[in-house]
Amino acid sequence: MATVTIASIQEALFHTDDLVTRELNAGKGKAMLIYLETMCEATKIELSLFKQLQSENNEGQVSLSIEELLTAAKVDPCYSVQDAVDALIRGRALICEEAAARCFSFDVSKQYRRSPTEPENERSLVGNRDGFVEYLQSNLNLIRKHLSTGELSVRYFKLGKNAKRPVALVWLDGTADRRIVDEAAKRISALSSTHELHPGLLRKLLRENKYSMFPQCLGTERVDYASALLARGRIGVLCDQSSICLILPVTIYTFMLTVDDLIQGTWASLLMRSVRVVGLLLGLILPSLYIAIVGFTYEVLPFKMLFSIKSSLESVPYPPIFETMLMIFIFQLIAEATLRLPSALAQMTGIVGGIVISESLVQIGFVSNILIVIIALTTIGKFVLPSIELRSTTTIAQFILIVGATILGFYGIAFAFIGILIHMLALEPFGVPYCLPVREMNR
């Protein structure tokens, strides 16, 4: 273990110009105050520490007066140079005593915290308006306000090689399955020294099957929704500098729920969930059904509808898969563009762009009229789903069904759908079947 000295700390951070060192005139021993000016609040240092230390005239060592002078602050000893560097980059200031080669850190960090607001991507009609923020302690405070019970348990982890990022595992003791809690804690602990962690990477590292297209943990920014799932036996994972709470274990049913379903009556909730299931099926099978019917089995259509479709396809010189993939790509392109544009332009771009491009493609003979309607219904059906993760999965499964329909028609759709269903049935994230029946997870 390296000795903590002023020189060793300065050597470790010689490459940065925001490192500040100030000599302290307290006691007989030489002491230095060290901090990063970009991470620390100068007012806190001046008022709560520096003037007090400068006016202190005790005769003992500086290390003996630290706890007396900083009774209101949490003072932690630094036993190595790495501990001191980690404290500095977290916004803590150091008091180093050269004679005893001892170092103490205390929190004077700058705090930039936004107020909890309703998440843009998870709007609710009847739910609360508070969402998670980018500060771990604030998020835990919000959860404790929603779940005011002594059973709420929190376990902390520090993940990452260099910059240790705080992560919290949250659950209701006695409600959550202890086996799942221990397994989740084991997996998170295994990430401590092998990965440079950021919030998005944590979601990937907690996957049971890394090659599955199905999401295996649910990300939410709503405090009320996360609290409701915790009350039903789920486990939450919160990461500092992230406004997303990861919920696990999950089933396919979890991704079809919204916070409105937990508040509204049974029949209203059942109706909305049924609409989402219909939207999921539309997003999955409509394009592949079009390819199978147009390319293989015209006879399944009524004669009048068949005549209308044939007349719209006469000017299209390409096979059905080409025009289908072209329209899916264009609609995905428009959807992505509306996400990146300012809100004032996004709505206009989506409507005008979709209408103009679709009409132009039909007029020049690239696609048929019926395909425009099918792709529009498919896109709307996917956006009915409340989970962004499930929308991405639906798009991938949609392509698999399209390939199956192109090769074998209805038989290809059936084979592809059965294969997807078998894979979904085989998934068991954290030992819980992915297609678990609709019931609470209190086991």
Cα within 13 Å of Cα(292), Cβ side: 19
Contact 166, 136 (CB under 8 A): yes
Band (pLDDT 50/70/90 cuts) for residue 1 is: very low
- Give the amino acid at 429: P
Mean pLDDT lowest among 71-85, 190-204, 271-285, 356-370: 190-204
Band (pLDDT 50/70/90 cuts) for residue 372 is: confident
Residue 296: partners with Cβ closer than 8 Å, 6 or more residues away: 409, 410
H or E element that contains 190: helix 178-190
Mean pLDDT lowest among 51-55, 155-159, 180-184, 305-309: 51-55
Contact 169, 157 (CB under 8 A): yes
Distance CA 222, CA 214 (A): 22
Mean pLDDT lowest among 115-119, 343-347, 376-380, 432-436: 343-347
pLDDT at 184 over 70: yes
SS3 5: coil
Distance CA 423, CA 298 (A): 31
Distance CA 57, CA 34 (A): 21
Compute the Cα dihedral for 419, 421, 426, 430 and give only its sign: positive
pLDDT at 237 over 90: yes
DSSP code, position 174: T
Two tokens at 372?
A: 């425009």
